[in-house]
Chains A and B, each alone.
Chain A
Amino acid sequence: MMNTGITGDLIEVLFVLILGTAAFVITQRALRSLFTLYAIQSVILAAIAVVLFAEHRTVSLLFIALLTLVIKGFVIPAFLRRTLVVLPTKRDIEFSYLTPASSILLSAVLLFIVYTSFSNVAEVLFSDRLFFLGGVIGVSLALMGMMVIFSRKKVVSKIVGYLTMENGVLLFGLFIAEMPFIIEVLIVIDLFMLIVLSTIMAFGIDSSIEAFHKKLTQLGMRFED
């Protein structure tokens, strides 16, 4: 059981910050800032896990925080930034179906819908108001990530949408379903492999093998010709 003292307040501040970064992930055009936003979001998530650890003393929470901080806060953003060296575009200005303004509006509506549908089961499912809040924000963040995936046209920013979605799932997992630590690790490894593969695919899909090798060499991956 969570007591709503200073930890509760701190977590609420972090929730607010997560929602703030989500808004900017939807609208940001410059790719570099998009990656930085994702990194910031992941660091905030790690901070939430640390605060939860301070409250519950479950060691796996600390490991989740560490894993999130290292892989999602630093390694994945760094990898994404390296692809910018090869990528011809630095800004993603193409949107399909939804303009940033309308996706922002839609995500506000999404948050509200998730809130109303969750409040029906809140009594049974959530032991605490804060857990309810975490659940709602987690699911909304996942839905916002999904929206980024279908409203962006560039594959690189679709990847950020996917990552945001995963962050939402992690947030939901932190507050609702206690996942075994090993599953968390596997998810992160999966995520990492997926990012590596999809970024490589993202800028290699239109080139021949030789040109592709050249691009990979620029990324720092050596190939014998």
Chain B
Amino acid sequence: MNWNTAVYIVMNPLFALVLSPLVLGLIKTVKARIQGRPGPPVLQQYYQLRKLFHKEIVYSEDSSFIMRLGPYLGIAFMLTASLFVPMVFIPQTGWFGNIILFFYLMITAKFFMVLGGLDAGSTFGGMGSSREMTVSSIIEPVTIMSCAALAFVLKTTSIPEMFRTLLAGSIFSYPTLILVGISLFIILIVESARVPVDNPETHLELTMIHEAMILEQSGPKLALVELASGVRQTVLMALLINVTFPWGLAGLAGCASLLLAAVTMAVKMLILAATVGLFESLLAKIRFFRLPDFFMIALFLSFITIVFELLR
């Protein structure tokens, strides 16, 4: 392992970990401002995590080892998945980056979260887990189709290779990436449990999906679960940003270029976060059984990407 890979392995997950609370905070602030409230401070999520890490853990007496192990597994899988999407620079090695494995790592993390929701035996947890699995199984074909479209357009299944190809070309060489970008945006919204699909701010039993699953978690474990979903969102955002607007990503690791690339990425990430906040404010939550309509748009766009590429 050369130092380039070593720097990458340390830096990429760390970047996602550090940035994800800020992204969540910014989305909250944007939404609050649009609603005419001052909203919490942008750094609120960091304080929240610090508070949670200093609290004690309470387990339901019906819970088993899954509840105790789940959050660790969740964050571990998410950090591994974050290695697959280069955020600051593109590593030299071909060790990681298969897009199909990337999505399955994320799904495995979700699987343990769902088990955790069922484990405590509360009705809310079970309900949340059931809904989460329903939504996941509907979005699954869409995700696979988008992967296929990306792989088909860029002629590779490795995410770093895709970014390298994109950096060399321009949007005009791959016009269909606009469509894949919209698909990825919809996947981002679904996977990070945001408004038209789920409402991250409510604890109303009728609407919550993600929140219902983690109701029984407490203290540092809850902090880990929240960090994991933050990282999931950041990583997907990075994928979307680098597919549609890769410029600024460093091709090689050098101190100055790394710093510049990190700052550029952070800025792009925050712009996307503000866009997500705006998008959430413009839409109302979609009724649960209408969700497939929303996902179908993503499926359609990925499908016509493939047909379009056949045509070219």
Contacts and interface: CB of A to CB of B under 8 A. Distances in A.
A15 B176 CA distance: 9
Contacts of A20: 178-179, 182, 301
Interface string A138-159: 0000000000000000000000
Interface of A: 6, 9-10, 12-13, 15-17, 19-20, 23-24, 27, 99-101, 104-105, 107-108, 111-112, 115, 129, 132-133, 136
A112 B304 CA distance: 8
B172 A10 contact: yes
A15 B179 CA distance: 11
Contacts of B303: 108
Interface stretch (B55-63, B189-197, B246-254, B291-299): B291-299
Contacts of B179: 16, 19-20
B307 A27 contact: no
Interface residues of B, number: 22
Contacts of A136: 311
Most buried by A among B175, B179, B310: B175
A6 B172 CA distance: 8
A23 B175 contact: no
B308 A15 contact: yes
Contacts, number: 69
Consensus secondary structure, chain A interface? helix
A129 B175 CA distance: 15
Contacts of B312: 12, 129, 133
Consensus secondary structure, chain B interface? helix
A13 B307 contact: no
A127 to B, nearest CB: 15
Contact of A99 (B178, B293, B300, B301): B293
Nearest to A102: B296
Contacts of B173: 9
A20 B304 CA distance: 9
A16 B299 contact: no
Interface in B96-124: none
A100 B172 CA distance: 31
Contact of A133 (B178, B292, B297, B311): B311
A100 B296 contact: yes
Contacts of B172: 6, 9-10, 12-13
Contacts of B292: 101
B171 interface: yes
Top 9 nearest A-B pairs (CB, nearest first) are A9-B172, A13-B175, A101-B296, A104-B296, A12-B175, A108-B303, A104-B300, A16-B175, A101-B293
A23 B300 CA distance: 8
A104 B171 contact: no
Nearest to A107: B300
Contacts of B293: 27, 99-101, 104
B296 A16 contact: no
A12 B171 CA distance: 11
A16 B171 CA distance: 12
Contacts of B175: 9, 12-13, 15-16
